[in-house]
Amino acid sequence: MSSSSVIDAVSTAEPTRVQRADITALRAIAVLLVVAFHGRFPFFGNGFIGVDIFFVVSGYLITGLLAGEYSSRGTIRLARFYTRRVRRLLPASALTVLGVLVLSLIALPREQVIEVAQSGLATAGYVVNFFHAITTDDLAASDLDTIPLIHFWSLAVEEQFYLVWPLVILGLSRIGNPRGGRPSRAVLLAGVCAITAASFVHSVMLVNSGSTWGYYSPLSRAWEFGAGAILAIVAPIGWRRGSDAMRQLLLLGGAALIAGSLLIVDPAQFPGLGAVPVVLGTLLVLHAVVDARTPLGFVAGLAPVQWLGHVSYSWYLWHWPILVIGQAWLDDTSAVVRIALIGVSLAVAAASYHLIESPIRHADRLVASLKANVMLGLALSALMALASLVVWGLA
């Protein structure tokens, strides 16, 4: 059998793991915060903290997945990990980029179309956060509100985390147990804590200096992923968390910290010291592991909440460009128009999730084949890049 046939025969199915309704609900809350912030709803001026919640959750889940695989197999199958991320992230994001490019040609002036095409090209290379860090002088500048793909910076940061973090966990695990099997928790924890602390100091320094890199750099954001990773190492999913009353206290404390971040924390201190409360709050909520036996757990498990959590990724992708392009096309920025456009974006996101994101993620052909995932990733990246160049040329 040829090497390509061997690759083609290897399954990329997700490992069996517990589906936690509380985490899905947390994703729903995170996307609602971001959408309310971009929709300029009252009391949601700090709604961007939804991104920080996403980062902590990603660090928690991915680290638990990677450490668990090393414990059970004595290694981490990197190709499988990367191709699962391709199948999970790229189809929906590529569809969004292509849709935004077309809508921009129809509805936006030439100068903005060029900016969209440049952002699309950077997105195809997974460096759009670097692009905006270089081209942005002032995070509060009003002209940032006219760039339909600027919110992809956070997706680029996640992708960069996914690229590097498996190598970090694999390296630390082998230091703690070079022969495979269960890694040394002490070595793993010490390494992740050191990385997290260094990133936090770096983030505080950049934020205090007023550099836009503090906001967009993966190095200044790594501590948020690292915080979730520390929780996954210290208290893995099967860890006994104590009484229901204690878990409720953890949940309420976490919710209070998140609410405080939303209402009173200085946005100029993000993602440095200002992000500490929302990160700690998210960790407490994750650690509480609420379930349907509690009132808040019951609410978290309701079908609409769970559905919103499932479509949160697609809604995050679509809500901002539809807001930007829709308001420009209608020449109307009223609250009624913003709310209507948010509703449209949710409908588009739902279609994207049910017709593109979920079917491709679970497609038998892709699940069964590493090679097919690699080809899918290359094709979608090339398509985004080519489409961006064509639109740039047409503008």
pLDDT in tens, 114-133: 999 999 999 999 999 999 99
Q: Is the confidence at residue 15, as pLDDT, over 70?
A: no
pLDDT tens across 26-80, in order? 999 999 999 999 999 999 999 999 999 999 999 999 999 999 899 888 889 999 9
| Residue the block writes with tokens 């260094």 | 198
Q: What is the mean pLDDT of residues 153-172?
A: 96
What whole-number percentage of the chain has pLDDT above 90? 74
Among the residue ranges 166-170, 177-181, 218-222, 278-282, the one predicted with the least confidence is 177-181
pTM of this structure: 0.93
pLDDT at 74: 86
Among the residue ranges 130-134, 171-175, 294-298, 333-337, the one predicted with the least confidence is 294-298
Q: What is the mean pLDDT of residues 361-383?
A: 91
pLDDT at 4: 33
pLDDT at 11: 42
Q: What is the mean pLDDT of residues 165-172?
A: 96
Average pLDDT of the chain? Answer: 90
Long-range CB pairs of 80-85, under 8 A, 24+ apart, other chains included = 80/10, 80/11, 80/12, 80/370, 81/162, 81/166, 82/162, 82/163, 82/166, 83/12, 83/370, 83/373, 83/374, 83/377, 84/12, 84/14, 84/373, 85/159, 85/162
Q: Is the confidence at residue 145, as pLDDT, over 90?
A: no
Picking from 310, 320, 381, 390, the residue whose alpha carbon sits closest to that of residue 350 is 310
Alpha helices in the chain (DSSP H): 3-9, 21-38, 49-73, 78-107, 110-124, 128-135, 152-176, 185-209, 213-216, 218-234, 244-263, 276-288, 295-300, 303-310, 312-330, 335-352, 358-361, 364-367, 370-394
Q: Write down the domain spans for the chain.
A: 52-74+177-293
Q: Which tokens sit at 352?
A: 């994207």
pLDDT tens across 210-219, in order? 999 999 999 9
pLDDT at 197: 98
Q: What is the band of 230 on the pLDDT scale with cuts at 50, 70, 90?
A: very high
Q: What is the mean pLDDT of residues 149-173?
A: 96
The DSSP symbol for 265 reads S
Q: Is the confidence at residue 6, as pLDDT, over 60?
A: no
Q: Cα–Cα distance between 301 and 307 in angstroms, integer?
A: 10
Q: What is the band of 160 on the pLDDT scale with cuts at 50, 70, 90?
A: very high
Q: Is the confidence at residue 240, as pLDDT, over 60?
A: no
pLDDT at 291: 77
